[in-house]
Amino acid sequence: EAGVAQSPRYKIIEKRQSVAFWCNPISGHATLYWYQQILGQGPKLLIQFQNNGVVDDSQLPKDRFSAERLKGVDSTLKIQPAKLEDSAVYLCASSLVVDTEAFFGQGTRLTVV
Amino acid sequence: QKEVEQDPGPLSVPEGAIVSLNCTYSNSAFQYFMWYRQYSRKGPELLMYTYSSGNKEDGRFTAQVDKSSKYISLFIRDSQPSDSATYLCAIPFPPRAGANNLFFGTGTRLTVIP
C-alpha cells in the first residue's frame, strides 16, 4: 500500500514570497491533516479535513495560511506571504476515517530566509 | 503551562540497555496516550497507544500511564541501534483514539550505540 505522498521535499524561499505544498493521501482515506513541526518541537495541527470539508482549522493562521482539498482527495497548503517563523517541516497525514490511526508523509521542509 | 511536557534529551545508551522515556501532562480529562517514533527526515509513525491507566506491552516496548500523577512512560528493553530515533508522546483531545488535535511533546532524541 502506497503511503502519504508529499511534494516538494525541500523548499527555500525569501520572506514575503508565497509557497504551496501538495499532499496525496493514502487511497480511500477520508480524513486528511496538515501539521507544522518547528525544529525541536512536536508537530502542531494546522487543519483537518473530512473528505473536502474542514473539520478543524482553529490553529491555522488564516491571515497568511490557506488550505484546500478539492474533490476530497489531494490537498494543498499555501503560505502567502511567508515569514521567517514559518520555517518548519509541514507534515501531511491521513486516516481512513476520524478516530483511526493517522499515517504521516515524510514532510516538506520549508526554509524562509 | 503546556498540555504535554517531554524531556528533549538527547539520550545516548549502549546497545542492550533499558531505555525510559517520559512525559507529563496537565489535563486530567485526557484519556488516550500515544507514543510516536520519528526517524530522521521521516514523518512520525504510531508506535503504541494506551487508554487510561496501566501498562501495555508490545514486544520490547512497554507503555505505562499513571493518571494520578499525570505521568506517561515508554520503556524499551534490549535496545537496538535501529531504535535510534526521536520519540514523541502525544495526547488527542477531545479524548478519542484518532489524530484530531493531537498535543505532541517536544520529542526525545534517542541514540543506541552498538
pLDDT mean values, one per 10 residues, chain B (114 residues): 85 97 92 92 91 89 94 97 96 69 91 97
Of A48, A104, A109, which has the smallest distance from its Cβ to B100's Cβ? A48
Chain B hits for A99, CB-CB cut-off 8 Å, are: 96-98, 100
Determine which of B101, B103, B109 to mutate to test the interface with A (most A C-beta atoms within 10 Å): B101
| Chain position carrying cell 534529551 | B9
| Chain position carrying cell 512520525 | B44
Q: Average pLDDT of chain A?
A: 93
C-alpha torsion B30→A107→A55→A73, nearest 10: -140
Please tell me what DSSP assigns to residue B59: T
User: Does A98 contact B at CB distance below 8 Å?
Assistant: yes
Mean pLDDT of A81-99: 92
d(CA A74, CA B73): 36
| Chain position carrying cell 489524530 | B99
Q: How far is A56 from chain B (nearest CA, A)?
A: 8
Residue B80, all three cell numbers: 537496538
Residue A48, all three cell numbers: 483537518
Span A31-41, pLDDT tens digits: 999 999 999 88
Give the C-alpha distances (Å, rounded to integers) separating B45 from A44, A84, A99, A107, B37. 15, 28, 16, 13, 5
Q: What is the pLDDT of residue B97?
A: 57
Residue A11, all three cell numbers: 523548499
User: Does A55 contact B at CB distance below 8 Å?
Assistant: yes
d(CA A112, CA A15): 6
Please tell me what DSSP assigns to residue A97: S
